[in-house]
Amino acid sequence: MAAKKLSKEKVGEVLQELSKFRLITPVKSDDVVLFREIADPKEAFLEYGNSTVPPKKVVFPQTETLFRFTIGNPELREKNVEEEGTTVIFGLRPCDARAMSIVDKLFSWDYEDPYYLKRRELTTLVGMTCVQPPSINCFCTSLQGSPFGKDGLDVLLVDMGDHFLFQPLTEKGARMEETLASYLEDASPGDVERASSMEEEAKGKIVRSIDPQGIAEKLPSLWEDPLWKRVSDACLGCGICTFLCPTCHCFDMQDEVERGEGRRARMWDSCMFCEYTLHASGHNPRPTRKERTRNRISHKYSYYPKRFDVIACVGCGRCISLCPVNIDILEILEQVVEA
């Protein structure tokens, strides 16, 4: 699949064309950047660093119906994800796309999760490179990612300044190229080479890092280490680090009934919440923030790689930047390495 050129003036028209699908782009809500379905291409806010809430919420909504029922009627009516229609996420960052490819492993492991997987199938990811790191706390390059990374994406738009280099990466990407053929031009000679030197330059701008080598094996040996108390003393036990993590995928399931009509729904849950592991008996196997912090880090850097051969962290830095008390996963990992 050959790379094409998409001039920046045509992005509006491209978004117009794509609005025949369920089109999701970064938008500004006051000063907060979020991914939302847009009706008008003008709503898209593509000059952004990264969104506060990752686009995982498109394929794994914060709250979604699993099935509906009517009290007194035994029939359970399964939610049909197909009805949501073909979806395009336009303008997401490579780390967030890579996160989806990591979470795919969980939702297709053993039992297939029909809701998530159907939505993934319906969704085409058109990513945009990070010429500047969106945050001082970006560290994607430590975890096999790149500001120009392609993992999980169907199309990568390389920001070449006045235009994008449109790189289709998958079958869905090729279909996207067909859809947008009339807006694309042949790539300028040398663009592909220039893109790869730009990638090196962009990587060089990322200032934070960790060497994950050996951490997965070391973590279980530090179970009783005093570091867990130290790093969790300041933790408030809120859900910021997990809800805003593009790879965190834990959920709760709840039944809701209103005037005889009910649904079973699932909604994001956080291992940092105290009632997450609370047994009905009152026993809690993770009674304090220490155990919960240890689980969060271990899950990402030890349990997940043990099962799925990949660390469940893409280095987007959100958990660092948005933590109210500056708990810093890189500092924790450094302490793990040094312990």
Partner 1 sequence: MVDVSKLRETAREIISREDVRELIGYRAGTYGFRARPAFVYDPGEVDQLIFNPACVNNLATYITLEEKLPVPRGQEPDLRKVAVMVKGCDSRALVQQMAENAYERDRILVIGIPCTGVVDMDKVQARFPDVLGPGEISLEGDKFVLIFDGRREEIPKEELLADKCKRCRFPTPLVYDVLLDEEVAPFATDDYSDVEALESRSQDEKWAYWEEKFSRCIRCYSCRNVCPMCYCNDCILDRLRPQWIRRSVDISENTAFHIARAYHLAGRCIQCGECQRVCPVEIPLMELNRKLYKDVEELYDFEPGVKVDAPPLLSSYRPDDPEDFIL
Partner 2 sequence: MKNPYIPYEAKILEAWYETPGDRCIKTFKVTFADDKVWETWSHRPGQCAMVGIPGVGESMFCISSSPTEKGYLRFSIMKVGKNTTAIHELEAGDTIYVRGPLGNWFPMDEWKGKNVVTIGGGIGQAPLRPVIQYIRDNRDDYGELTVIYGARTSADHCFKDEFQDMMACGDCCCHLAVDVEEENWPHFVGFVPQLLMEVSPSPENTIAVTCGPPIMIKFVLKNLEKLGFTPDQIYTTLENRMKCGIGKCGRCNVGHIYICKDGPVFSYEQIKDIPEAFA
**Which residue from 265, 297, 312, 336 is in contact with partner 1, where contact means CB under 8 A?**
265
Long-range contacts of the stretch 328-334 (C-beta < 8 A, 24+)? 328/137, 329/241, 329/297, 330/137, 330/139, 330/208, 330/209, 330/210, 331/231, 332/227, 332/231, 332/293, 332/297, 333/210, 333/212, 333/215, 333/297, 333/301, 334/210
Using CB under 8 A, pick the residue from 214, 233, 260, 339 that binds partner 1.
233
Q: Cβ neighbours of residue 237 under 8 Å, at least 6 residues apart?
A: 272, 273, 274, 289, 292
CB count within 10 Å of CB 293 equals: 25
Tokens 């040094």 belong to which residue? 338
Residue among 122, 135, 64 at smallest CA distance from 96:
135
Nearest residue to 231 via CA among 302, 326, 332: 332
254 sits near partner 1 (criterion: CB under 8 A):
yes
Residue 214 interacting with partner 1 (CB under 8 A): no
4 phi and psi angles, rounded to 5 deg: -120, 175
The smaller minimum CB distance to partner 2, of residues 45 and 251, is found at: 251
Interface map 17-36 toward partner 1 (x if CB under 8 A): ------------xxxx-x--
Site for partner 2 in 5-24 (CB under 8 A): none
Q: Pick from partner 1, partner 2, none: which does 47 bind, CB < 5 to 8 A by kind?
A: none
Closest contact distance (angstroms) between CB of 139 and partner 1 is 11
Helix or strand or coil: residue 100? helix
Cβ proximity of 329 and 121 under 8 Å: no
How near is the Cβ of 332 to partner 1 at its closest, in Å?
Answer: 10
Per the document, the length of the chain is: 339
**Least distance to partner 1 from the beta carbon of 301, Å?**
18
227 phi, psi to nearest 5 deg: -60, -30
State which of residues 1, 9, 42, 62 lies at the interface with partner 1 (CB under 8 A). Answer: 62
Give the footprint of partner 2 on residues 268-287 (CB under 8 A). 269, 271, 276-281, 283, 285-286
Distance, C-alpha 116 to centroid of its chain: 13
Using the minimum distance from each CB to partner 2, give the nearer residue, 183 or 301: 301
- Which listed option, partner 1, partner 2, none, makes contact with residue 288 (CB within 5 to 8 Å by class)? partner 1
Smallest distance from partner 2 to CB 152, Å: 19
Q: Please give the residues from 135 up to 174 whose contact with partner 1 meets the rule CB under 8 A.
A: 135-137
| Interface with partner 1 (CB under 8 A) | 29-32, 34, 52-53, 62-63, 135-137, 207-208, 230, 233-234, 236-240, 243-244, 252, 254, 256, 265, 267-268, 270, 273-275, 287-289, 320, 322, 324-328, 330-331
